[in-house]
Amino acid sequence: MTKRLFCLLVGVCLHLSAQAGSLVLKGEATQGSLMRGKLPSGTKVWLNDNPVDTLDDGAFAIGFGRDAKVSHTLRWLLPSGEQQSQTIVLAEREYPTQRIEGVPQAMVTPPESVLARIKNDNWLVANARKARSELRDFTSEFIWPAEGPITGVYGSQRIFNGEPKRPHYGVDVGAPTGTDVVAPAGGTITLAQADLYYSGGTLIIDHGLGVNSTFLHLSKLTVAVGDRVEQGQKIGEIGATGRATGPHLDWRLNWYDERLDPALLVPPR
């Protein structure tokens, strides 16, 4: 099983919070992690020399993908003109292999007749994730979007019907079809599609500053693009649509193009 790693950021355990001068940063210092930070209003921020979006009050988010390098530099310029920096050292994670049998072969190696559909599906998802809103819902404490046992974990190498495929980038919650799915944090719906080829019923919530949640394999969607949703509000129902061998919710988390582990934001199960 994937371990939740509690690591050090210059001697401070990031499962709680870390402070470096004017910086407050919380999150787990491990690959796949979303970290939320706060600096004085008007501060400019860079991660590895790339500019980081901030809210007017100085709140920001940064994320590290499945195979991110272990050392990063967070740098910021205070309104006073003083420049400060912090080294972030991530723990490397080990990911399990998950073998899934009984998947329809057309979902493992799709026929040419559906390739255009898949390309369009991918465009819809990528476009929805381009949101650059200044919502601040990403700063809240997240909750689980559905009740049920964990049946798949972030980062695992997926082997469908004996064929190695891309790693799994979400956490799977197994539950009967029709089980409620709720918003883990507030935000705006940027995608609501009832039948994508691989992911079936699919929703995306923009939580602000590039942080968004995606929900796959839904049997029913109860919200529409443009809707404002609050944490705990019903957004759909679990199903087995798309590439699925049984009813479950696949919950995914992104920070812009970085695919993150949503399980790091909620209490362990």
One domain for residues 156 and 201: yes
Is residue 145 within 8 Å of residue 183, measured between CB atoms? yes
One domain for residues 50 and 85: yes
One domain for residues 143 and 220: yes
Please say if the pLDDT value at position 13 is more than 90: no
Residue 125 sits in a domain whose CATH number is 2.70.70.10
* pLDDT grade for 106, boundaries at 50, 70 and 90: low
Residue 78 sits in a domain whose CATH number is 2.60.40
Query: Which residue among 89, 105, 123 closes a domain?
Result: 89
pLDDT tens, 81-97? 999 999 999 999 999 78
Please say if the pLDDT value at position 252 is more than 60: yes
Among 185, 249, 191, smallest CA distance to 219 is for 249
One domain for residues 112 and 54: no
Rounded to the nearest angstrom, the gap between the alpha carbon of residue 258 and the centroid of all alpha carbons in its chain is 8
How far is 172 from 158, CA to CA, in rounded Å? 13
Query: Which residue among 89, 114, 148 closes a domain?
Result: 89
Say how many C-beta atoms besides its own lie within 10 A of residue 44's C-beta: 14
One domain for residues 122 and 226: yes
One domain for residues 136 and 55: no
What are the tokens at 262? 């949503």
pLDDT tens, 24-77? 999 999 999 999 999 999 999 999 999 999 999 999 999 999 999 999 999 999
**Mean pLDDT (the chain, rounded):** 89
One domain for residues 104 and 232: yes
One domain for residues 104 and 179: yes
Q: Which residue has the tokens 């993150």?
A: 260
One domain for residues 110 and 240: yes
Is residue 241 within 8 Å of residue 219, measured between CB atoms? yes
One domain for residues 81 and 115: no
Q: Provide the residue type at 214 as one letter.
A: T
Please say if the pLDDT value at position 3 is more than 50: no
Among 141, 170, 162, 166, smallest CA distance to 252 is for 170
- Region 108-127: mean pLDDT is 91
One domain for residues 68 and 119: no
Give residue 201's pLDDT.
98
Residue 41 lies in domain: 8-89
Is residue 214 within 8 Å of residue 203, measured between CB atoms? yes
Instruction: Assess if residue 2 is contained within a domain.
Output: no
pLDDT tens, 184-228? 999 999 999 999 999 999 999 999 999 999 999 999 999 999 999
